[in-house]
């Protein structure tokens, strides 16, 4: 079952063309399922056109949707970026913004549906590409996005912004917690 959460625009941004931004997620035995839904005046936004899926660095410099995933109690975390174009990238960090070597096993599956007033990005990340954890540990999840206007202005969206400047790597903003071995622990 997908659970709905409202995304919040960082206070430093003035983007007013978005009426609502909702994210949904669910975890199954096989994958983490994320849905990002933006509604509003999409013609004012720079939304990349669909292309063949591929890994591309620097997606955060334009419209992209992100997920930060960590194991509760551990310092390391993963970052996944998804573009409406179907480009993606995945990084591992051993500590705050300290990159570590890691290669994803399977590319995320990304589907984008767009109308004049809504954009729905549907993403599946294989469970074997999530951080390793013990059965009793839960995952922490930070869901974020960067939205670019046609004029090149960026706005930053997350479930929570705890700093005066946007910083999606702040662990205290990984506010969703879930344990696939204990469905009651959300």
How close are the terminal C-alpha atoms of the chain, in Å? 12
Domains in the chain (CATH in brackets) are 3-178 (2.60.40.1190)
Supply the pLDDT for residue 186: 45
CA nearest to 21, candidates 157, 161, 176 = 157
Question: Residue 43: what are its φ and ψ, rounded to 5°?
Answer: -65, -20
**DSSP H helical ranges for 55-147:** none
| Stated length of the chain | 186
Return d(Cα 59, Cα 82) in angstroms, integer: 8
What is the pLDDT tens value at each position of the chain, 186 positions in all? 778 899 999 988 877 789 999 999 988 888 999 999 999 999 999 999 999 999 999 999 999 999 999 998 899 999 999 999 999 999 999 999 999 998 899 999 999 999 989 999 999 999 889 887 766 788 899 999 999 999 999 999 999 998 888 899 999 999 998 876 654 444
The Cα-based distances of 72 to 27, 32, 96, 172 in angstroms read: 16, 16, 14, 11
Return d(Cα 162, Cα 168) in angstroms, integer: 10
Supply the pLDDT for residue 132: 76
Supply the pLDDT for residue 185: 43
Q: Where are the beta strands (DSSP E) in 83-138?
A: 87-95, 98-100, 109-114, 118-126
């Amino acid at each position: 079952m997908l659970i709905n959460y409202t995304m919040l625009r960082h206070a430093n941004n003035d983007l007013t063309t978005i009426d609502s931004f909702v994210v949904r997620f669910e975890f199954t035995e096989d994958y983490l399922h994320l849905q990002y839904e933006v509604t509003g005046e999409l013609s004012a936004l720079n939304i990349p056109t669909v292309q063949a899926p591929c890994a591309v660095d620097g997606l955060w410099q334009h419209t992209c949707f992100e997920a930060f995933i960590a194991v509760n109690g551990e310092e390391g975390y993963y970052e996944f970026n998804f573009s409406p174009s179907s480009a993606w990238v995945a990084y591992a960090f051993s500590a705050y913004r300290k990159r570590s070597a890691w290669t994803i096993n399977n590319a995320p599956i990304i589907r984008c549906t767009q109308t004049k007033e809504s954009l729905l990005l549907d993403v599946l990340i294989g469970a074997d590409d999530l951080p390793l954890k013990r059965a009793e540990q839960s995952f922490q999840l930070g869901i974020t996005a960067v939205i670019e206007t046609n004029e090149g202005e960026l706005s930053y969206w997350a479930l929570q912004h705890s700093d005066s400047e946007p910083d999606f790597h702040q662990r205290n903003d990984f506010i969703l917690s879930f344990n696939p071995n204990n469905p009651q622990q959300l």
